[in-house]
């Protein structure tokens, strides 16, 4: 499969109902979309594919008027448009159902479907007509619930279908479904797909985003793949193999690879010893299925899997960021009870979250404060880290990690992403953890910083630290890991030797049909 695959000719007839050309959007410090083309034909289900940060959500929000584009052109039904608000997009026939149900749970089902274009009588909302119309719409998509009931009394899956009912109620020509299936079980997904097919056959253009490959292959006619804010290509679903799709989504970026030597930790992990971390049957309903995991001292264990496969959910349980509902954790052979991050830190576990901004940085504090934060937290407020020790640590890590600017008093918010990430790493290294968990430590940072971080991880493992490494970039995971745990659908499906495994091995594991896996999920 060639990296820059040429766009396939569409088989569908008719002019595109949505046409986006040369779309670019830049947020402070991030080029979210660069010169992306996208089109949507009537009567098709079009899947928008890409890993985290690929730009899927941004593209959707550009189309629906939540974001304004910096350059490019959007045409809906052939006419150029620039929606300033979601209401305008809706008026033009573009309806959106977001991943997190964007309805008002405190209102009734009927109101959620029709509010904004409710039937009236003598100026007032005609409650009876509204409920009747809502019932009609619900029936048309095969959902039989009381329109007068409060939305919050229904399970999330039903709420999701109500959101679709809202979109259907306007006779939208374009229906956007942004990860609508992430909280649905197999039966509910089947129901959703039945509704989608009905709408498609009536000529609605459906844009579908999901990270479940099986679903994408089941429902979609065509796909557009994005990566890092750029267009990779447009393909007919029937002509694109899973392997090719995954490699298009993950990308190889061979040029960048060559710049880095293969850096698998040289230290041979001795698996006969007691593992640094031993987790057994660790799980949480709706998060991950119970699974086992061992990590030895001096070993880098990579977690591979697509977004939503459970890789982040697993490590959050290990660190107590979410409270595990079942299972046991042992550190150095001693059972520990981890109910919150403090327990984990006390047990020698450190965790750098994938959400650097939301869960890592204390944006308005200096490099110095951010760097000693975890150490200070475990000492308590009354025992400040002595000035001299603090200065030593800061000097050491600024130099070791090449943090720039080298001014400890600079506010961390003003640093580049890579340097912010280094400060977070340093925050955990000063606590001298036994196990270091890195969730997407290289996301959104430049190639130089990436190489530095990879090298650091290898060095730490060589010095005897146990490391769990997560990255959306498979090459990266394989390059650094002694062992790779492959996750799919919130379950562990395989463990591979890092050195002997190839990207293709992992991809075919991820791509393999998850026959029966959803059934298992329901059963447990």
Partner 1 sequence: MSTSTPLGKLRTNGLLWPIVALVALLVVNVIARPSFASITLRDGHLYGSLIDILRNGAPTLLVALGMTLVIATRGIDLSVGATAAIVGAITTTYIVAAPDPASARAAFIGMAIALVACALLGVWNGFLVSVLGIQPIIATLVLMVAGRGIAMLITDGQIITVNNEAFSVVGAGFVLLPVSILISIAVFIGLVIITRRTALGMLIESVGINPEASRLAGIRSRTIVWMVYVFAALCAGVAGLMITSNVNSVNPNSVGLWIELDAILAVVIGGTSLAGGRFSLAGTLLGALVIQTLTTTVYNLGIEPQAILVFKAAVVLAVCLMQAPKFRARFVRRPKPPTPAIRPTAPAPVPSKVGQ
Partner 2 sequence: MMSANVTTPTPATTSDPVAPVRKPATKGSLVPPRLLPVLATFVLFVLMFGTGAARYENFGTAQTVANLLIDNSFLIVLAVGMTFVILTGGIDLSVGSVVALSTMVAAWGLQAGLPAPLIVLLVLATGTVFGLLQGLIIQRFDIQPFIVTLAGMFLARGLAFLISAESISIKDETFRGMSGGAVTLPGDIVITYGVVIALTVLAIAAYVLHRTRFGRTVYAVGGNEHSAMLMGLNTARVKVGVYTISGFCASLAGLLFSFYMLSGNALHAVGMELDAIAAVVIGGTLLAGGAGYVVGSLLGVLVLGTIQTLINFDGTLSSWWTKIFIGALLLAFIVLQRAALRRRQ
* Interaction site with partner 2 (CB under 8 A): 66, 85-87, 90-91, 96, 98, 101-108, 111-112, 115-116, 118, 123-125, 127, 131, 146, 148-150, 152-153, 166
For the bound state, the minimum distance from the C-beta of residue 361 to partner 1, rounded and expressed in Å, comes to 6
Q: Which is nearer to partner 2, 106 or 432 (by Cβ)?
A: 106
Burial class of residue 441 (count of CB atoms within 10 Å of its CB; 0-12, 13-18, 19+): buried
Binding partner of 321, given partner 2, partner 1, none, CB within 5-8 angstroms per partner class: partner 1
Alpha-carbon distance 155 to 479, whole Å? 43
| From candidates 49, 169, 374, 487, binder to partner 1 by CB under 8 A | 374
Binding partner of 146, given partner 1, partner 2, none, CB within 5-8 angstroms per partner class: partner 2
Binding partner of 377, given partner 1, partner 2, none, CB within 5-8 angstroms per partner class: partner 1
Q: Which is nearer to partner 1, 34 or 198 (by Cβ)?
A: 34
For the bound state, the minimum distance from the C-beta of residue 179 to partner 1, rounded and expressed in Å, comes to 16
3-state secondary structure of 322: coil
Comparing CA positions, the residue from 287, 34, 47 lying closest to residue 178 is: 47
Residues 38-67 interacting with partner 1 (rule: CB under 8 A): 61, 66-67
Comparing CA positions, the residue from 280, 276, 278 lying closest to residue 327 is: 280
| From candidates 71, 152, 414, 502, binder to partner 1 by CB under 8 A | 414
| Sequential DSSP letters for 422-436 | HHHHHHHHTT--SEE
CA atoms within 13 A on the CB side of 298: 12
Please say whether the beta carbons of 352 and 358 come within 8 A. no
For the bound state, the minimum distance from the C-beta of residue 127 to partner 2, rounded and expressed in Å, comes to 5
Question: Could you give phi then psi for residue 208, rounded to 5 degrees?
Answer: -125, 130
Binding partner of 260, given partner 2, partner 1, none, CB within 5-8 angstroms per partner class: none
| From candidates 1, 87, 132, 363, binder to partner 1 by CB under 8 A | 363
Strand partners, 330: 278, 335
Please say whether the beta carbons of 297 and 464 come within 8 A. yes
Please say whether the beta carbons of 293 and 486 come within 8 A. no
Q: Which is nearer to partner 2, 160 or 471 (by Cβ)?
A: 160
Contact between 73 and partner 1 by CB under 8 A: the answer reads: no
Q: Which is nearer to partner 1, 29 or 80 (by Cβ)?
A: 29
Cα 308 to Cα 246, 426, 489: the distances in Å are: 14, 28, 7
Binding partner of 253, given partner 1, partner 2, none, CB within 5-8 angstroms per partner class: none
Please say whether the beta carbons of 94 and 63 come within 8 A. yes
Tokens of 365: 């504090």
3-state secondary structure of 122: coil
| From candidates 2, 9, 13, 28, binder to partner 1 by CB under 8 A | 28
For the bound state, the minimum distance from the C-beta of residue 451 to partner 1, rounded and expressed in Å, comes to 26
3-state secondary structure 43-82: CCEEEEECCCCCCHHHHHHHHCCCCCCCEEEEEECCEEEC
Cis upstream peptide for 111 (omega within 30°): no
Alpha-carbon distance 429 to 424, whole Å? 9
For the bound state, the minimum distance from the C-beta of residue 180 to partner 2, rounded and expressed in Å, comes to 14
The H or E element containing residue 472 is none
The residue behind tokens 């640093």 is 415
CA–chain centroid gap for 466, Å, is 25
| From candidates 15, 22, 68, 391, binder to partner 1 by CB under 8 A | 68
Indicate the pairing of strand 174-178 with strand 94-97: parallel
Q: How many residues bind partner 1 (CB under 8 A)?
A: 40
Q: Which is nearer to partner 1, 38 or 67 (by Cβ)?
A: 67
Contact between 510 and partner 1 by CB under 8 A: the answer reads: no
For the bound state, the minimum distance from the C-beta of residue 410 to partner 1, rounded and expressed in Å, comes to 10
Q: Which is nearer to partner 1, 265 or 349 (by Cβ)?
A: 349
Contact between 422 and partner 1 by CB under 8 A: the answer reads: no
Radius of gyration of the chain (CA): 25
Q: Which is nearer to partner 2, 98 or 428 (by Cβ)?
A: 98
Tokens of 360: 């890592």
Q: Which is nearer to partner 1, 254 or 382 (by Cβ)?
A: 382
Q: Which is nearer to partner 1, 441 or 498 (by Cβ)?
A: 441
Binding partner of 149, given partner 1, partner 2, none, CB within 5-8 angstroms per partner class: partner 2
Binding partner of 505, given partner 1, partner 2, none, CB within 5-8 angstroms per partner class: none
Contact between 357 and partner 1 by CB under 8 A: the answer reads: yes
Please say whether the beta carbons of 95 and 174 come within 8 A. yes
The residue behind tokens 């200096």 is 366
Q: Which is nearer to partner 1, 84 or 274 (by Cβ)?
A: 84
Tokens of 123: 């100026």
Q: Which is nearer to partner 1, 212 or 397 (by Cβ)?
A: 397
Q: Which is nearer to partner 2, 74 or 304 (by Cβ)?
A: 74
Contact between 365 and partner 1 by CB under 8 A: the answer reads: yes
Would you tell me which residues interact with partner 1 (CB under 8 A)? 27-29, 61, 66-68, 84, 319, 321, 340-342, 345, 351, 353, 357-365, 369, 373-374, 376-385, 414, 427
């Amino acid at each position: 499969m060639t990296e820059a695959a040429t766009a396939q000719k569409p088989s569908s007839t008719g002019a595109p109902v949505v046409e986006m050309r040369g779309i670019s959007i830049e947020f402070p410090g991030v080029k979210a979309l660069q010169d992306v083309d996208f089109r949507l034909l009537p009567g098709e289900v079009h899947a928008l594919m890409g890993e985290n940060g690929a730009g899927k959500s941004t593209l959707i929000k550009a189309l629906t008027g939540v974001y304004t584009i910096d350059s490019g052109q959007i045409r809906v039904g052939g006419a150029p448009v620039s929606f300033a608000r979601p209401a305008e997009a809706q008026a033009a026939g573009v309806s959106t159902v977001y991943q997190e149900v964007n309805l008002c749970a405190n209102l009734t089902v009927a109101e959620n479907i029709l509010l904004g274009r409710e039937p009236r009588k003598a100026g007032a909302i005609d409650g009876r007509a509204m409920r009747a119309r809502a019932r009609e719409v619900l029936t048309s998509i095969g959902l039989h619930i009381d329109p007068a009931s409060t939305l919050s009394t229904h399970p999330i899956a039903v709420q999701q279908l109500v959101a679709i009912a809202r979109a259907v109620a306007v006779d939208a020509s374009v229906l956007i479904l942004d990860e609508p299936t992430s909280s649905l079980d197999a039966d509910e997904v089947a129901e959703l797909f039945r509704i989608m097919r009905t709408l498609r056959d009536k000529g609605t253009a459906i844009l579908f985003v999901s990270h479940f490959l099986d679903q994408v292959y089941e429902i979609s006619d065509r796909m557009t793949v994005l990566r890092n804010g750029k267009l990779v290509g447009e393909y007919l679903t029937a002509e694109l193999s899973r392997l090719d799709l995954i490699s298009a989504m993950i990308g190889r970026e061979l040029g960048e690879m060559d710049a880095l030597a293969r850096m698998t930790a040289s230290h041979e992990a001795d698996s006969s010893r007691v593992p640094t971390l031993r987790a057994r049957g660790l799980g949480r309903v709706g998060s991950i299925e119970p699974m086992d995991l061992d990590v030895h001292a001096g070993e880098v264990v990579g977690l591979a899997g697509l977004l939503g496969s459970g890789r982040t959910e697993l490590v959050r349980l290990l660190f107590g960021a979410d409270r595990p509902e079942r299972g046991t954790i042992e550190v150095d052979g001693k059972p520990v009870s981890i109910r919150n991050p403090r327990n984990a830190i006390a047990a020698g576990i450190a965790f750098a979250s994938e959400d650097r901004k939301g869960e890592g940085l204390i944006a308005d504090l200096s490099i110095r404060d951010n760097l000693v934060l975890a150490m200070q937290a475990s000492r308590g407020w009354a025992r400040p880290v002595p000035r001299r020790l603090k200065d030593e640590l800061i000097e050491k890590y600024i130099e070791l990690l090449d943090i720039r600017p080298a001014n400890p008093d600079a506010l961390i918010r003003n640093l580049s992403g890579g340097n912010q990430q280094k400060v977070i790493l340093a925050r955990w290294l000063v606590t001298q953890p036994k196990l270091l968990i890195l969730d997407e430590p290289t996301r959104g940072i430049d190639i130089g910083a990436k190489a530095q971080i990879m090298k650091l991880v290898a060095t730490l493992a060589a010095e005897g630290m146990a490391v769990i490494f997560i990255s959306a970039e498979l090459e990266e995971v394989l390059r650094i890991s002694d062992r790779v745990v492959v996750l799919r659908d919130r379950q562990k499906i395989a463990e591979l030797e890092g050195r002997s495994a190839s990207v293709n091995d992992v991809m075919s594991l991820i791509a393999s049909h998850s026959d029966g896996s959803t059934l298992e999920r329901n059963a447990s």
